[in-house]
Amino acid sequence: MEQLEFDIAPGSKSRIIASSGVFQIELIEHVGEEDHEALIAISQHLAEDYGRSVILTKNTIHKYFNKSSSLPFIARYRGEIIGYIIGIPLEELSHEPWARVDENFGKHNTMYTYAFVILKQYKANGYAKMLKRVYLSWAKKKSSVRYITGHVRQGVSSRFTGDVKIINRVENWNGTNKTFEYYRRDLRPEQSHLQRHNPPLEIQI
């Protein structure tokens, strides 16, 4: 994959981080008005699993994608947005009780995966794996970031590679009647003496 710099159009600005044929991954520097509709439409695919609170609005796009402390990437296929992943500092979620009780809250060393989605028809092509790999690689480049956290459906984190620990489980996540796991991935496990390879659940709620 090659690395380039590219301005999408007036109003939106990004850098192409990786590309393979008709597929490319871009690091977002600013989302302009012209990409709002596509991002909002894609976010609606998350609602069934995560609840309607994950559907983007113009306000949340500006709040999370256009913030210098965020780590947002979009995936394009033949120029059309087909997915995105965005990491935000854990401290940005101070309104969430589960975030405030995280042992790393306030240490500014944790990036929370706010959303990760690829349209269903493109998942079998490996594009989701490429997008996640780029995201984790860039998170690790940030010297202040030690951990990546996020919420996924129960059992999903068991398929993750790397040093991943389930911190807690939440019943009826956002009114979905589904159990979700809050996981933590150590990006630098060599710096830790803790047990590796998904140790037992620490807390269950």
> 3-state class of 147 per DSSP?
strand
Question: Looking at the domain assignment, is residue 15 inside a domain?
Answer: yes
Q: Which of 17-21, 146-150, 171-175 has the highest mean pLDDT?
A: 146-150
Q: Is residue 26 a contact partner of residue 12, using CB atoms and an 8 Å limit? A: no
What does pTM read for this prediction?
0.85
Question: Looking at the domain assignment, is residue 200 inside a domain?
Answer: no
* pLDDT value of residue 193: 55
Average per-residue pLDDT in the chain? 88
How confident is the model over 57-80, as a mean pLDDT?
Answer: 94
C-alpha to C-alpha distance for 161 and 98, rounded to whole angstroms: 24
Residue 73: pLDDT above 80? yes
Percent of the chain with pLDDT over 90: 73
Instruction: Render pLDDT for 31-42 as a digit per residue (tens, 0 to 9).
Output: 999 999 999 999
Of the listed ranges 2-16, 86-100, 161-175, the least confidently predicted one is: 2-16
Question: Looking at the domain assignment, is residue 26 inside a domain?
Answer: yes
* pLDDT value of residue 12: 81
Question: Looking at the domain assignment, is residue 202 inside a domain?
Answer: no
How confident is the model over 44-54, as a mean pLDDT?
Answer: 87
Question: Looking at the domain assignment, is residue 203 inside a domain?
Answer: no
Q: Which domain holds residue 178?
A: 6-191
Residue 11: pLDDT above 80? no
Question: Looking at the domain assignment, is residue 197 inside a domain?
Answer: no
Question: Looking at the domain assignment, is residue 1 inside a domain?
Answer: no
Q: Which residues contact 78 (CB under 8 A, 6 or more apart)?
A: 22
Question: Looking at the domain assignment, is residue 94 inside a domain?
Answer: yes
Q: How many domains does the chain have?
A: 1
Q: What are phi and psi of 107, to 5 degrees?
A: -90, -10
Q: Which residue has the tokens 């850098």?
A: 15
CATH number for the domain spanning 51: value is 3.40.630.30
What is the chain's Cα-based Rg? Answer: 17
Instruction: Render pLDDT for 78-122 as a digit per residue (tens, 0 to 9).
Output: 999 999 999 999 999 999 999 999 999 999 999 999 999 999 999
Which is nearest to 109 in space by CA: 29, 163, 193, 187? 187
